[in-house]
Amino acid sequence: MSGIAALQRHVDDKARVVLDAYLRSTVSAASIPGVSDRVGALRIAVGLDPSQIGGSVMTDTLPRVDFYTVAAESAYDVAGTNLDVFYTYEVSGIAQYDESDFSASARSAALLCAHACETLEKYLRDGGGASGCIWRVDTTSPVRTQAQLYDVGDDRLHTMQAVAEVTVSARATFEDSPTYLDPTIEPGRPTIFDQLADITSGLDADTGVGTATANRSSTWSTTTAALAGATAVQVDIDPAFAWVAGSTATIYLQRHQATVTGDPNSALSITLATYDVVDGDSWIIHAADDGTDGTKHQAAWAITWSVS
């Protein structure tokens, strides 16, 4: 990863995709009062401490998880060519649950925050090799609940925020150039995460293996015999959204440390001779609309393969 600016952007962007891909399924299975039964409304944001937002605006949609950096330490290697950065991120979980005393909402917020930290620990780290710049992710503080958020227009404590710290250890190439360098990161457009339709997959066709729901975890199942008789996995993202021309879709193949990109209006083909599929393989599928209307609609699908 070249440069500290690109490095932090990479951490932020990957954290958003990882949380969208995995957290809702994890929380849904955890049976957290006031959270698991509202998982469809869960809002995930990266880059801002929600306590800095006005109460009526901040509590508009709950529950919510926020991920934002609060500190960083750095260290250069002896040659001065590589830079290790240890980012301290806060993970905030906010929940509202009023069917018991206010400590119940505190426990729900704490569990939501803890599951978000665990999701980041488990999935945020990059794979090995030269391209693996996030090399360690650790929860480095206890989950603590603070009663600073209140129901709008009410004096009862039913809205709670829980906060923990996660240390992200990452590595970048030290950038040192005395001349002007054109910026390579386009300023981001506002994003809209839609309730998109399912996508489908198949062997040598775009159906037959399984479906996947946007911003959720799904399992695709097949057999070794079926894989042996096929040439490619076809993934059809077109049904999810009315993608405009110029939109992009990317499939991240964890074990192969490779990506397959294409147009979401057409089925993406993963050639099995190049990228074989085995039991337990993890894929993340990400699609982003071109954003010609001023916004960028996007979604993520987390896939685990079951091969028998």
Q: Which residue has the higher pLDDT, 139 or 290?
A: 139
**pLDDT grade, residue 105 (50/70/90)?**
confident
Q: What value does the mean pLDDT take over residues 93-119?
A: 89
Predicted pLDDT at 82: 80
Cα pseudo-dihedral 216, 127, 47, 35, rounded to 10: 30
Residues 207 and 161 in one domain: no
The listed range with the strongest mean pLDDT (49-63, 185-199, 255-269) is 255-269
| Count of domains observed in the chain | 2
For residue 115 the two structure tokens come to: 């599951």
- Report percent pLDDT > 70 for the chain: 82
Residue-wise pLDDT tens digits, 166-221: 999 998 877 654 433 334 444 455 666 666 789 999 999 888 999 999 888 899 99
Q: Domain check: are 135 and 224 in the same one? A: no
Are 206 and 62 within one domain? no
Q: What is the pTM of this model?
A: 0.75
What digits encode the pLDDT tens for the residues 77-102? Answer: 655 678 889 999 999 999 888 777 77
Tell me, yes or no, whether 161 and 23 share the same domain: yes
The CATH number given to whatever domain includes residue 49 is: 3.30.2000.30
Show the beta-strand stretches assigned E in the chain. Answer: 43-46, 64-76, 82-96, 134-139, 144-146, 159-173, 191-192, 199-203, 210-212, 217-222, 232-236, 248-253, 258-262, 268-271, 282-288, 296-307
Q: Do 78 and 196 share a domain, yes or no?
A: no
Is residue 183 domain-resident?
A: no
Which one-letter amino acid corresponds to residue 116? A
Helix (H, G, I), strand (E, B) or coil at 156: coil
pLDDT band at 245 (very low <50, low <70, confident <90, very high): confident
pLDDT of residue 225 exceeding 60, the answer is yes
Buried b / exposed e across 273-302, counting CB within 10 Å, b at 16+?
eebebeeebbbbbbbbbebeeeebbbbbbb
Q: What is the pLDDT of residues 3-25, one digit of tens each?
A: 788 889 999 999 999 999 999 99
Residue matched to tokens 């505190």? 106
Residue 83, in any domain of the structure: yes
User: Torsions phi, psi of 233, nearest 5?
Assistant: -95, 125
Residue 308 has pLDDT above 90, yes or no: yes
Q: What is the pLDDT of residue 16?
A: 94
Of the residues 173, 200, 220, the one at which a domain ends: 173
Indicate whether 300 belongs to any domain. Answer: yes
My answer on whether 10 and 147 are in the same domain is yes
Residue-number span of the structural domain to which 70 is assigned: 4-173
Give the span between the Cα atoms of 125 and 136, in whole angstroms: 6
> For position 102, what pLDDT does the model report?
76
Do 153 and 217 lie in a common domain?
no
Residues 120-136 have a mean pLDDT of 81
